[in-house]
Structure 1
Amino acid sequence: MTRIRKMTEADLEAVAELRVSGWRTAYPGLVPRRHLDAMDAAADAARHRERLASGDDPAADEVAEASGEVVGWVCYGPCRDGDQPAASGELYALYVRPDLIGTGVGRALWRAALEGARQRGYARMVVWVLKGNARARRFYERAGCAADGAQRTDDIDGTPVPEVRYVLDPLPAP
């Protein structure tokens, strides 16, 4: 059974491992191989530790736990896009242990993020997805999100990486 709970500092290493393994599983061919190979879970955990220690981070972090092990992570908070209504939340990250993709862990994390967004007063949710990440795009489309036509391109190690914005509006009732 999977349990969703608030992330603690003790979870940071496991969350960093999830993020690195998630990138390495989902992004080959979309993000430069040298970037994926250079990802460092210890450095990622240290960045998260600094973010949490700052005390002014508006993001919410939750983990999925099964049999005492962290198997997924979701992070959300206020939308950072200036063209969105004030009552917009943004899903910053959702990662599931690669061997558990398709088992419902991601859906449970998504539902937890939507519930947390409602509790924070958000009426809609925004998420940016790599344009070439067909699996993630299908996930959000099945969850009721729709691409709104907005696109942006990040530069990762000199390679343009296009993203598309999805919106869930309004948030479904609990």
Structure 2
Amino acid sequence: MDPEPELGSSSVIVREATVTDAAPMARALVAAWRAAYRGIIGQDFLDAMDEQRIGDSWRETLVRGAGVPPLVIISADHVVGFCQVGEPRDMPQPDTGELFALNLHPDAWGRGLGSALLSAASEQLLALGYRRAYLWVADGNQRAIDLYLRHGWHDTAMTKTDPRFTPPLLEHCYAITLS
């Protein structure tokens, strides 16, 4: 992807992730989850998140090269977040893609980087031929909900429960028309 316009005091670049991005992607994910999901997901789960294991999983995924490559956002020469889009996992519809993940290290919050990453995800979805997209966001993750609302996503009123967490995590579906 082409470099994004300068945001704040440092140049920002969004590009496809490479194998060398696996560890910083894991750091961003763990830090983002621990900050965003405190009080939403059980603290035991958040404390047990293992950067090394998550980084190894990303490394394997990036080496395999299956699916749509995740995008990373770089600020001050450091990967500070990532997003991943692709074919819908649970609601296959013509011309509709899914935003699976958007994680930004909390040190990078409030600088417009989440907006830049979300815009790049939307561009990637359009480039893949999708005209609509949806995502799932945890109940109570107001920072993420506010970001999506600012960028035109709307609450579909659909919910699901993720039983991997204790208590089970309620998620809300947000959607957007991309074109």
Alignment TM-score > 0.5, same fold: yes
**Number of matched pairs:** 169
2:24 to 14, 18, 21: 14
RMSD across aligned positions (CA)? 1.3
* 1:159 counterpart SS class: coil
Report the residue type matching 1:103 in the other structure: R
Q: Which moved more, 1:7-16 or 1:70-79?
A: 70-79
Distance 2:147 2:34 in 1: 18
Is this contact kept in 2: 1:154–1:160, CA < 8 A? yes
Partner residue, 2:116 = 108
Partner residue, 1:164 = 172
* 1:22-41 mapped onto 2 (5 Å cutoff): 22-41=32-51
C-alpha displacement of 1:49: 1.9
Moved beyond 4 Å, runs of 4+: none
C-alpha displacement of 1:157: 4.1
TM-score (norm 1): 0.92
Partner residue, 1:93 = 101
C-alpha displacement of 1:102: 1.6
* 1:138-149 mapped onto 2 (5 Å cutoff): 138-149=146-157
Q: Relative to total residues, which structure has the larger strand share, 1 or 2?
A: 1
Partner residue, 1:78 = 87
Gaps of 5+ in 1: none
TM-score (norm 2): 0.89
* 1:115-154 mapped onto 2 (5 Å cutoff): 115-154=123-162
* 1:156 counterpart SS class: coil
C-alpha displacement of 1:48: 1.4
Is this contact kept in 2: 1:31–1:156, CA < 8 A? no
Report the residue type matching 1:27 in the other structure: Y
